[in-house]
């Protein structure tokens, strides 16, 4: 499925905004500034203590939304009812469309703090009014893609499945989490709607309720493999995990006798390291060496890594809540700053919140083997030798450019790139500053 299919993205609409975007817009309009060409830059400021890199995501949602910017009559009536806005401004807003240009990192691009991930150039009002949507969307999608990449790295090649839907922060987050996790290397999601929407592989078999619904655990197992003879992963911790493993082995052998294969068992509570070894022994002893052990138990990159380092015989992890809300760092410090207006560079100087003025480009230099060496933030128009430019033109005059990338192509590209990020920046426990410099020209241009 092509990612650039706007029908995949429901319209949030112009009211998905902080009120102050609208009051500012009214102020610009009244004072004739609304049509001045403006550039806003989106970047992540404070990376926190454990994240050295971030993974860009959410671009397609942004482009789908802003290319359809349109105030409905119903929305206009509501705004008028607030008694804040001059009628002339509401007339103007009613006919407004987004006509600007957008440069952005393609989804799945690895980036670092202070680097622009998107720059929007448009008449001031248009660029101002989409701020809230852009921040919300890029923020959530990149937050989760980053968290998921950390989990994938921690798992050292063992497959991960997104189980987060029941505790993501809302419905929209559920789908975005599934998509971002897949982009970052998860193999499947339990979220059926996201599976349909984005063409993601879906996975999952049974919960404790299914076991409880039958008179005994082994009867529940038999009933389940009867319906799903080729996909059954039996949940074995409802009463006692080791007894559950023995029941699963019994059912696995019954399946074998029918020419079927038990796909695996799932652990969901208790000491994962000890239980996985004990369960592996039970399955192996029964000759079910092909039956996999799946585990799901409040996992995140930290607990996954501990089990992998300890050689726990867990074949795949179901990763839920803590990935799905990025529990250790549940938001990105992502901001949207005016950097150029009407031909002059501008910036804000609040303490600790300096912004780089002007239209910019991010350049990446690699070693001869492709590994990342350093980045440079430069003026948009600069030419930097032996470096690739990361920000791409993704929208021109309000029309998204057709990249033709599929989500799985973006996922493959991310995997290739992630392999080229030096290991020390992937440490899940501590921040390491990747070298990002500011070009001499850009420094000289700061007002």
Residues 25-64 that bind its own copies (CB under 8 A): 26-28, 30-31, 33, 36, 38, 40
- Is 108 a residue that touches its own copies (CB under 8 A)? no
- Is 118 a residue that touches its own copies (CB under 8 A)? no
Surface-to-core class of residue 32, CB atoms within 10 Å of its CB (0-12 exposed, 13-18 middle, 19+ buried): exposed
CA proximity to 117, closest of 434, 411, 375:
375
- Is 173 a residue that touches its own copies (CB under 8 A)? yes
The least distance separating its own copies from the CB of residue 87, rounded to whole angstroms, comes to 13
Stretch that binds its own copies, among 206-214, 277-285, 287-295, 413-421 (CB under 8 A): 206-214
| Phi, psi (rounded to 5 degrees) for 118 | -155, 140
Task: Report yes or no: 41 and 355 within 8 Å, Cβ to Cβ.
Answer: yes
Task: Tell me the CB-side half-sphere exposure of residue 152, using CA atoms within 13 A.
Answer: 23
Other CB atoms within a 10 A radius of the CB of residue 205 amount to 18
Q: Fill in the per-residue mask, 294 to 333: x = in contact with its own copies (CB under 8 A), - = not in contact.
A: ---------------------------xx--xxx--xxx-
One residue of 334, 378, 407, 410 binding its own copies per CB under 8 A: 334
- Is 180 a residue that touches its own copies (CB under 8 A)? no
Gap between the Cα atoms of 265 and 280, Å rounded: 10
Residue whose CB is less far from its own copies, 90 or 390: 90
One residue of 3, 17, 121, 361 binding its own copies per CB under 8 A: 17
Residue 254: helix, strand or coil by DSSP? helix
Helix (H) / strand (E) element for 189: namely strand 188-189
One residue of 228, 371, 383, 446 binding its own copies per CB under 8 A: 228
- Is 130 a residue that touches its own copies (CB under 8 A)? no
Q: Please give the structure tokens belonging to residue 24.
A: 């500012």
Judged by CB under 8 A, how many residues of this single chain contact its own copies? 102
Which residues are bridge partners to 364 per DSSP? 375, 388
243's CB contacts (< 8 A; 6+ apart) are: 217
The least distance separating its own copies from the CB of residue 262, rounded to whole angstroms, comes to 15
- Is 172 a residue that touches its own copies (CB under 8 A)? yes
The least distance separating its own copies from the CB of residue 352, rounded to whole angstroms, comes to 7
- Site residues for its own copies, 236-255, by CB under 8 A, read 237-240
Gap between the Cα atoms of 204 and 189, Å rounded: 8
Query: For strand 110-111 and strand 54-55, is the pairing parallel, antiparallel, or unpaired?
Result: antiparallel
Stretch that binds its own copies, among 72-80, 114-122, 394-402, 410-418 (CB under 8 A): 72-80
One residue of 55, 59, 63, 135 binding its own copies per CB under 8 A: 135
One residue of 60, 107, 268, 301 binding its own copies per CB under 8 A: 268
**What are the C-alpha distances in Å from 258 to residues 254, 286, 293?**
7, 16, 22
- Is 70 a residue that touches its own copies (CB under 8 A)? no
- Is 176 a residue that touches its own copies (CB under 8 A)? yes
Helix (H) / strand (E) element for 74: namely helix 73-81
CA proximity to 244, closest of 223, 226, 268, 260:
268
Other CB atoms within a 10 A radius of the CB of residue 106 amount to 18
One residue of 1, 5, 23, 446 binding its own copies per CB under 8 A: 23
Vertex 124, ends 121 and 130: CA angle to 5°? 75
Gap between the Cα atoms of 352 and 79, Å rounded: 35
| Phi, psi (rounded to 5 degrees) for 410 | -65, -40
- Is 231 a residue that touches its own copies (CB under 8 A)? yes
- Is 71 a residue that touches its own copies (CB under 8 A)? no
Residue whose CB is less far from its own copies, 188 or 376: 188
Write a three-state SS string for 200-217.
CCECCCCCHHHHHCCCCH
Q: Fill in the per-residue mask, 342 to 371: x = in contact with its own copies (CB under 8 A), - = not in contact.
A: ----xxxxxxxx------------------
One residue of 80, 156, 209, 432 binding its own copies per CB under 8 A: 209
Helix (H) / strand (E) element for 65: namely helix 59-66
- Is 7 a residue that touches its own copies (CB under 8 A)? no
Stretch that binds its own copies, among 97-105, 158-166, 278-286, 305-313 (CB under 8 A): 158-166
- Is 8 a residue that touches its own copies (CB under 8 A)? no
Which residues are bridge partners to 344 per DSSP? 341
- Is 117 a residue that touches its own copies (CB under 8 A)? no
The least distance separating its own copies from the CB of residue 206, rounded to whole angstroms, comes to 5
Residue whose CB is less far from its own copies, 331 or 383: 331
- Is 403 a residue that touches its own copies (CB under 8 A)? no
């Amino acid at each position: 499925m092509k990612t650039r299919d706007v029908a995949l993205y429901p319209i949030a609409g112009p009211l998905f905004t902080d009120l102050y975007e609208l009051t500012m817009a009214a102020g610009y309009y009244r004072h004739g500034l609304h049509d001045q060409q403006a550039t806003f830059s989106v970047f992540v400021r404070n990376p926190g203590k454990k994240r050295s890199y971030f993974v860009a995501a959410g671009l397609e949602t942004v482009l789908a939304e802003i290319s359809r910017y349109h105030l409905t009559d119903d929305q206009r009536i509501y705004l008028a009812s607030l008694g804040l806005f001059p009628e002339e401004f509401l007339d103007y807003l009613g006919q407004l469309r987004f006509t600007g240009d957008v440069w952005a990192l393609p989804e799945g691009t690895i980036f670092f703090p202070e680097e622009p991930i998107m720059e929007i150039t448009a008449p001031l009002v248009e660029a101002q009014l989409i701020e809230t949507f852009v921040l919300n969307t890029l923020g959530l999608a990149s937050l989760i893609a980053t968290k998921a990449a950390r989990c994938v790295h921690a798992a050292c090649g063992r497959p991960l499945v997104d189980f987060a839907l029941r505790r993501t922060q809302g419905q929209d987050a559920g789908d975005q989490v599934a998509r971002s996790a897949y982009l970052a290397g998860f193999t499947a999601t339990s979220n059926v709607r996201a599976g349909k929407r984005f063409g993601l592989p879906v996975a999952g078999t049974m919960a404790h309720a299914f076991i409880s619904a039958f008179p005994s655990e082994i009867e529940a197992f038999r009933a389940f493999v009867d319906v799903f003879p080729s996909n059954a992963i039996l949940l074995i911790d409802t009463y006692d995990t080791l007894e559950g493993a023995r029941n699963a082995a019994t059912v696995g052998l019954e399946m074998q006798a029918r020419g079927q294969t038990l796909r695996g068992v799932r652990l969901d509570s208790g000491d994962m390291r000890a239980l996985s070894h004990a369960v592996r022994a039970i399955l192996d002893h029964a000759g079910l060496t092909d039956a996999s052990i799946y585990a799901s138990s409040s996992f995140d990159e930290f607990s996954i890594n501990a089990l992998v380092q300890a050689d726990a015989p867990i074949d795949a992890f179901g990763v839920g809540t803590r990935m799905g809300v990025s529990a250790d760092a549940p938001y990105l410090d992502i901001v949207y700053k005016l950097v150029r207006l009407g031909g002059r560079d501008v910036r804000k100087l609040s303490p600790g919140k300096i912004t780089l003025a002007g239209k910019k480009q991010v350049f990446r230099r690699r070693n001869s083997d492709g590994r990342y060496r350093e980045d440079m933030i430069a003026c948009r128009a600069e030419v930097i030798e032996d470096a690739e430019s990361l920000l791409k033109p993704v929208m021109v005059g309000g029309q998204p450019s057709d990249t033709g990338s599929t989500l799985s192509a973006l996922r493959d590209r991310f995997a290739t790139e992630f392999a080229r990020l030096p290991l020390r920046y992937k440490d899940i426990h501590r921040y390491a500053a990747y070298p990002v410099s500011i070009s001499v020209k850009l420094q000289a241009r700061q007002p």
